[in-house]
Structures are given as structure tokens and as C-alpha cells.
Structure 1
Amino acid sequence: MSGVVYPPESVYNLIPKEEVHTQVPQRYMSKYRPTVVLEKKSTKDAKRTMGPAKVEPPSPERYLKKRSKEPNLPEKTAESKDVRHACTVRKPAVPARTDCPPMGIHTKRDFIKLATAVPMKHRPTCVDARNGHKQLLENSGLVPQYTKKKQYGEVPEYLQQRNEEERRAQEEYLNFVKEQREQGAMKHLSDEERRAALEGLKKSWDKLHHEYQSLSFVTDNLSKKAHKDQLEEELRQLEADINRFERFRTIYIPNN
């Protein structure tokens, strides 16, 4: 069965229909078209090179000759030759080597002053573009301006005040330690005692560290966790004490 679809049959389809003719609007035509055509034709004809020449061709007798465009100089005469030797005043002789140079002579351009004058100080500049634009280097931000300050290199006042407070606090601490030592409340540890105390602290740390490494990996109850925290705190305290004994050579302890 073909797929052609026929329109439904109707009596009205037998009536002939009138043909409808669509009217196309007339194409736009500018009113200046004839003027433009004439203007284009006139300019086109003026640039043509074919046809009869409109200027008179050059004559074969008037060709360009050699050196015809060079300027004509006046002819040399006897009078012009004598003008060169018309000067009757004789120039002074060349000064000898032993003669002293003349003093106090000023000319339009005194070279002696130029040689002895202080040269103008060059102001450094920087070129920041390929077309030669330049600006003064001191205002370009490339030169550190703080080095030109009067206070450059000096310690600031707040640092001097802080150093003075630290020095005063250190003096007060030393005076307090001296007073306590004189009263017999503190005892100075010798090098042997300090070394022995340091060795004892290290042995205690090794013992606690071995015990800490022997703990079980899983802390499944509160007692194991509390024991682990206690060992960590004791190890931390021992490490701080060992660091203090190794850092300071002079150590004081109370007599009681």
C-alpha cells in the first residue's frame, strides 16, 4: 500500500478557482542616478590615456643635454683674482716658545673659565619606555629614599627604651639572686652536681620512655588512657628540665 494521501472528495473542488496575481512593488530608483552617471563618466574620460594627446609633445631638438641643470657660476676675471690679495695689513707673528702668554684677555667665549668652572652635577634619570620617555630617578620609586634620612642607621627610640627595660629587669633579677644567696636561701650548683642531675634526668626519661613504648596500642578503657596521659605529661616535664639544665650553666636551688 502506497503512502500517498489524497484530499477528501468534495463537490466544491470541481468549481474552478480564480488565479491570484501578486503585484511586486516597483524597485527603488534614486532621483540622483542620472547625475551620478554623468559625473562618473566625466571623471572616467579624464583619466584615459588612449587616443590623441591633449598636450603638445616635446620637440626632438629640445632634448636634455649634459650638465644643463647645473648652476651657472660667474666667470673668473682678473679683478676677482686680485681681490684675494687686497689685504695690506700683516698678521702678527706666531709667539715663541719662551714668550709668556698674555694675561687679562677676554674673548666672547672664555675657555679658561669653562675649564676651571665647577661642572654641573648630572641628575640621574631612568628611561621607562621604548620611545625614549624618561623621568628623574630619585622620584621614580627605584631609589630608596629612607637612606637619605638624618636618623638612618640609628636605633629607634622605642627599641632603646625596650633595651633599657630589659637591662633594668636583668639587673633587678641579679640583685635579687645575690641577696637570696647572701641570706643562704639559695645554693649554687657546681658543674659536677649539674652534670649528675642531668644524667639522672636522662635516665628517668629513658625509663619512662621504655614504659611508654610498652603500652598497648589500643586504649579501650579509661584506666589505660589515664595512664598514657600521665606518662606523656611526665615525659614532657622531664624534657623541659633537661633542656633547662643543658641551656644554663649557672643554676641555683633552694636550700630547703
Structure 2
Amino acid sequence: MSLVEIVHHNEVIYTILDKPPPEPPKTPRYESKLEKELKETKKPKLRRTFGYAETPVKPPEQFLKKGEGIGQPVKCTDHQCVGGNLPPVPRRPPPGKKEEKPQKNFKILNIKKAIKTKAKPVEPRLVDTRDGHIKKIKGSGEVPEYCLRPDFGRVPEYLVRRNRKIQKALEEIRLADQNKESLCKLISEEERQKLLKDLKNNWELMQKAFLQLPMLTDTIPKILRKTKMEQELKQLEKDIALVESNPYIYIYE
């Protein structure tokens, strides 16, 4: 048995396993050019102050001259001066005597007006207490008023008009009932025969369609259709028997 002593070696345990593949490089991030320009404009400007500590004064040579100051704003108007021969200004009438107004004697006018005016009628009143409480007789119920009216006991005019309208409507209804034709009408023999013929034709067509149905009715639609056609055939047979047995047939319009 022999022993091998390895003193110098370059083997590392971490390099035995295969290294994982390197990660792919990331794509560069999108950066907008406009954003950079905006950031540049938003940067505060240096050495900015609130203004001059003392307002600089202009030298005496630069004094304010005529027409250099701030004047009044000129108003823009659409007015245009009219030229040419204008009519002369009317002259003032010559001074003369004023028209004399007729003088009124108000005392005489008031006396005449007072003579012509009628006296105010005295309203009848009554005193019903010892303290002198005054009450108007009109509307108090002490004197009969309503029974003395000219229209007392008469039918009001609006009721008379309403009764006339009601009577007129009833008369129109009565006349309409008298002149009304009977709704029941007897059909002629020709119409009866034509009706019977049409019913028999319908029965034949229905019977033909019924015989063409399949013998096996194994589905619900087939059963429903067959049942419906049977009911229609029975109804047609009843109608035919009714028309044949009754020579006189009346119909309502």
C-alpha cells in the first residue's frame, strides 16, 4: 500500500459545478427628450432678487418731455362729421305777452258742487246692548231679506239650462231607439245554401288533410295536431247539421 501526498493543488470545490449562464443585458430605459427640456426650464434661475434696494434715478438730462408720458387712451368711435349746407338754426320767437289764463273762483265752484251733491243715505242700525253696541241691520237676521228678493222661490237659471240639455239628450235617445233597425236579420235561401256548400267544402279539405296524417303518433306535436284537427272536424259537422236542420236562420250584424 502506497500513500500519495499532494501538497500543491489548484482545485477548488466551488469551481467543480457548472456556473449558471449569465443574465442577458437589459434593454436601455426609454427617456423622453421633452422631459429633459422641461426639467431645464423648471430649474430656478440663480441670483434672482426681489428688485432694487433703491430705485435708480434717471439723470437730469433725461427729463420727461412733452408727449412722452402716459396719456389718456383714445376712444375709437364710428362718428363722422357731416359736411355741407345744413339747415339754419330756428330763431327764438320774439318776447311777447303771455297768454292770460282764465281765473277761477274756487269758492263759487265749491258752493255749486255742494248744492248739487246728494246726501249720503243713513245706513239703518240698531243698538242691542245697554253699552251702546251698534250693529248693522242688514245681514243681522233681524229683518227678513232673502224672502223679499225678486228671484225667491224660482229655479236657478243654470239648473234650467242643465235640465233642457238633459231633456234634449233623452229625446234624441228615444228617437234613435224608435228608428233603430232590428239587429236580427233573416238570411235568404240562396245565402243559406251557399253557407252550407262552403261548410261542406271546408269539411272535405279538413278530412283530406286529416287522412294524410301519419298512422303513428309517437311525438307530442303529432298528437296535438291530430287532436286539433279532430276538434275542427267535429265542429264543422255540428255546423253542417245545424244549417241543414234549420231552414230559417237569423244572424246578428
TM-score (norm 2): 0.29
Which of 1 and 2 has greater Rg? 2
